[in-house]
Amino acid sequence: MDFAGYSTHSSKILALSSTREEFKGNIHIDFVHGKLGHRREFGGGRGQPLARAIGLKHGANPTVVDATAGLGRDAFVLASLGAQVTMIERSPILAALLDDGLKRLAAELGFSEPGLSDIAEQQLHLVHANAIEWLQNQTENRPDVVYMDPMYPHRSKSALVKKEMRALRALVGDDEDSALLLQAARCCALKRVVVKRPKGAPLIGDGNNPVKPSGNVQSKNTRYDIYSVIPSV
């Protein structure tokens, strides 16, 4: 499958590859090994900033919609900590990579890590859809939390941007509809909306009217803005 100079190819693993200057190499989704495996084991558990922002505490296991799934990393971490997570991804290429990663997760965990089999079978689900439309159509089974990680503001020095981020930016571009997504998320979520931003980045909003969060949780390089929900009329 070709997409603007990119291709996906499959043998045992579906991967995204390109010879374009801004992104050379292959990317595939591995929920078991590598960075995600290390983060699952040593990321700080429910005490890490992401988990605290979502509300994973005191035994609570909220239902979460990750409205900007991307490569699925934060969604997987939340699922591994006990949350029920639905990933929404509108890019057909990223959705295909996520689907392949989930299938391999289900196949591998039965042998290598049986204790995590519930993640693939019960706790982590994928929907290929426009998140704004999907959230607006949820009248039943609304999530406790909607999580957003819109595309970070562009950096002038491409060397500062990791390979995966360059690939995502080339595929989906900047998330120009972040304000609309935030509005839909606040109308859908039952408890809170969490927006991941680079530390020091501006708040999401239309022009000079940013939407102010009710609080935030910060780490060294990241800020998780927490928004209250908009009650149903």
Average pLDDT of each block of 10 consecutive residues along the chain (233 residues)? Answer: 49 75 73 63 76 90 96 93 95 93 77 63 92 96 96 56 70 82 97 95 83 94 96 80
CATH, residue 114? 3.40.50.150
pLDDT value, residue 208: 75
Please tell me what DSSP assigns to residue 154.
P
Residue 180 lies inside a defined structural domain of this protein: yes
Torsion sign across C-alpha atoms 126, 94, 152, 176: negative
Q: What is the pLDDT of residue 191?
A: 97
What pLDDT, on a 0 to 100 scale, did the predictor assign at position 160? 45
Q: Indicate whether 20 belongs to any domain.
A: no
Q: What is the pLDDT of residue 10?
A: 53
* pLDDT score, position 159: 46
191: number of Cβ within 10 Å: 16
What's the CA gap between 163 and 25, in Å, rounded? 9
Which pLDDT value is given to residue 184? 98
**Degrees, nearest 5: CA angle 183-189-192:** 90
Overall domain count for the chain: 1
* Predicted local confidence at residue 113, as pLDDT: 62
In a domain, 79, yes or no: yes
